[in-house]
A = this chain, B = another copy of it.
Amino acid sequence: MPEFRQDIITGNWVIVAKERARRPEDFSEPEKPHKEHFRENCPFCVGNEGQTPPEVYAVRRDGSQPNQPGWKVRAVPNKFPALTSNGQVSTGDIGIYRTMSGVGAHEVILETPDHDRSPAELTQQELEDVMATYRHRHHALLEDERIKYVSIFRNHGRSAGASLEHPHSQIIATPIVPPLIQDSISAAKNYHSRTGKCVYCHMLEEERKAGVRVVYSNPGFVVYEPFASRTPFETCIMPLRHSPSFGEISDQEIEYLADALGLTMRKIADGLNDPSYNYMIRTAPIDDEYEGSEYLHWHLRILPKLAIAAGFEMGTGIYINTATPEDTAKFLRNI
């Protein structure tokens, strides 16, 4: 019989349809064509630094100059931003509807000079540099008093929304706390008042005890498939240390995160033949000082694009997952 599973944070339900289940290996993608290390018309490739707006941060080889070759990781404003950095936050009305000026920030993190590399092929050092760049931009963007939330995410592959091939992550900083984040905060707060526990710490404890959904762990992080996963191979990378904001990640934790994320991406790429996926960092709004320090717990979530959210999902918010997180965790553990 299929089973409803409730997300402990959001209260949403997922249908795990075992009768429709596919084996984990059935999600594997077809072969992809070979790619190139450099592409002349790629604005993110070495030598084309002038094709992006001037960089706001970079990890560079000693002696190299800003906006010149020699970078390892490079952060630049998005040339076609979803939100603009100029102007004040102002609200307005159009008839009965509300609007707000589209100010904020939209940056691109170039993860490697190599056009050809998939995120699973980044080295431990490169991933550490990328994570450290995330941390730098997180702090820098929150210094702008208009900014309430920093969303760091990665779209890998065309069907996950990546329009440029060159390995890159994105950051969008918004003048509002997104409603989805606000809802998670309320839910975590309720859980804390009810039980005295951080729901994420409680989940970690439970997952480590049960073991069946755990993929990997190191001294800083646990990688596991959430109990109410919405799609096959949904994966959570959760810091062991209770900490509301990604901005508080230590240098040592950056090493552990790079290890956990790198290994997970390699397992997904090897096991499923490099599928498209998105990952995103869920963190507290407005840095360390946010009041939710007792009940919020930042984490990273990977969502492979192996299923389509169709009419039922869009109409009800209930996802039908055709693989169990216990099966996909086992599959990933064994790679």
Contacts and interface: CB of A to CB of B under 8 A. Distances in A.
Interface of A: 1-6, 8, 10-13, 15-17, 19-20, 80-84, 87, 94-103, 149, 151, 153-155, 159-162, 170, 172, 174, 176, 178-181, 202-203, 206, 209-210, 227-228, 278-282, 301, 303, 308-312, 314-318, 320
Nearest to A89: B4
A84 B2 contact: yes
Contact of A13 (B81, B176, B303): B176
Contact of A161 (B1, B311, B316): B311
A83 B15 contact: yes
> Which of A102, A278, A280, A282 is most buried by chain B, counting CB atoms within 10 A of its CB?
A102
Given A19-B81, A311-B155, A102 B316 contact: no
Contacts of A180: 315-318
Nearest to A320: B82
A161 B315 CA distance: 14
A131 B72 CA distance: 59
A152 to B, nearest CB: 8
Given A178-B318, A303-B314, A315-B153, A161 B6 contact: no
9 contacts: A1-B101, A12-B179, A16-B102, A19-B80, A95-B209, A97-B227, A153-B312, A278-B310, A303-B314
A102 B3 contact: yes
A73 to B, nearest CB: 18
A104 B161 CA distance: 34
A19 B227 CA distance: 40
Given A4-B100, A4-B101, A282 B315 contact: yes
A3 B100 contact: yes
Nearest to A161: B310
Nearest to A280: B315
A175 to B, nearest CB: 8
A96 B203 contact: yes
Nearest to A316: B178
Nearest to A84: B1
Nearest to A20: B80
B179 A279 contact: no
A82 B2 contact: yes
Contact of A8 (B96, B103, B172): B96
Contacts of A179: 10-13, 317-318
Contacts of A280: 311-312, 314-315
A179 to B, nearest CB: 5
Contacts of A159: 308
A5 B98 CA distance: 6
Given A2-B82, A170-B311, 13 more contacts: A3-B101, A5-B97, A6-B97, A6-B98, A8-B96, A11-B179, A12-B179, A13-B100, A13-B176, A17-B83, A17-B102, A94-B227, A95-B206
